[in-house]
Amino acid sequence: MKIKVLGCSGAEFPGHNTPGFLLDDEILLDAGSLTNVLNGNRQWKIKNIFITHAHLDHIKGIPFLADNLIMRNQGHKVTIAGIARVIDTIKKNLLNGYLWPDFTIIPDPKSGVLRFTRLREGLPVQVNGYSVTPFRVNHSVPATGYLVEDNAGRTLFYTGDTGPTRSTWQKIGDRKINCLIIESSFPDKMRATAMATGHLTASLMKEEISRIEKMPEKIYVTHTKPQYFKTIRAEVSALGLKNLRLLRDGEVIRV
């Protein structure tokens, strides 16, 4: 399982890309960074995009990808997947024919370049040899993380944006997580802000990790606010947890 980090920032800032994780060139987890990072040939390879939640920094690449697909004009289609409330929000507020064209009916109603799939929490779907299961997390809007498992039994769990989310780990139970990508958006001094907005700090993240029944082999930290990057990095380092580090835009990780 190879994952290209297109973006892992908690805000759009010079030199920092918003969340997007490309799995084996064809599956994308969140679409905050997409067309601003990938060239045309790599964009055409994408077939499925799993969205954790409908905040703009996680979906803003979708409309521009759709526009580029139309320009390509070779019949390529992309499926956008998420729980029902996430998909409904995207349809109502983004691809609504006003803010941006509805690319589910372009170039024609029977053959749009985008298709939507509504997922159910806790139920896996099979995509390109992977099992992908959404698990509800605790954010300010309806949101899920994704558990991704390959044919060899290797697993990735990507939290997306979340605050403290005890029930998520209870539902995952004793399943082994080989690679955890977990957010830590704010420095510890902004704990109240993190809690109010459905996010984590380094100390809150450590509490979440302690709730996981089987410790992940590798833990990567995402969604750090660039304005506090150095502080968060120091606080994460001070936790003293093995195999834990901050992600970097552009790197490739293997599960």
Strand-pair partners of 183: 222
pLDDT at 96 over 80: yes
pLDDT at 131 over 80: yes
- Residue % of the chain over a pLDDT of 70: 100
Which residue shows structure tokens 């399982």? 1
Q: Return the domain boundaries, the chain.
A: 2-254
* Predicted local confidence at residue 75, as pLDDT: 84
Assess contact for 54 and 93: CB atoms under 8 A: yes
pLDDT at 179 over 80: yes
Tell me the pTM: 0.97
Strand-pair partners of 83: 119
Predicted confidence (pLDDT) per residue in 19-66, tens digit: 999 999 999 999 999 999 999 999 999 999 999 999 999 999 999 999
Angle between helices 229-238 and 202-210 in degrees, nearest 10: 40
For residue 247, is it left (φ>0), alpha (ψ between -120 and 50) or beta? Answer: beta
What are 38's two structure tokens?
């990938």
> Quick one: which of 188, 252, 245, 200 has its CA closest to 218?
245
pLDDT at 92 over 90: yes
Topology of domain 2-254 in CATH is Metallo-beta-lactamase; Chain A (3.60.15)
CA distance 18 to 12: 6
Q: Which of the four pLDDT bands, split at 50, 70 and 90, describes residue 118?
A: very high
pLDDT at 68 over 80: yes
Predicted confidence (pLDDT) per residue in 222-245, tens digit: 999 999 999 999 999 999 998 999
Q: Which of the four pLDDT bands, split at 50, 70 and 90, describes residue 109?
A: confident
CA distance 137 to 198: 9
With b meaning 16 or more CB within 10 Å and e meaning fewer, what string describes 129-167?
Answer: ebebbbbbbbbeebbbbbbbbbeeebbbbbbbbbbbbee
Q: Which of the four pLDDT bands, split at 50, 70 and 90, describes residue 73?
A: confident
Q: Which of the four pLDDT bands, split at 50, 70 and 90, describes residue 74?
A: confident
Kindly state the helix (H) or strand (E) to which residue 172 belongs, with its residue range.
helix 166-172
Predicted confidence (pLDDT) per residue in 136-156, tens digit: 999 999 999 999 999 999 999
* Predicted local confidence at residue 222, as pLDDT: 98
Query: Looking at residues 101-118, what average pLDDT do you find?
Result: 94
What are 49's two structure tokens?
């995009």
| Sheet strand arrangement including 155-158 | 125-127, 130-136, 144-149, 155-158, 179-183, 218-222, 244-246
CA distance 255 to 11: 26
CA distance 205 to 74: 44
Determine how β-strand 78-83 pairs with β-strand 48-50. Answer: parallel
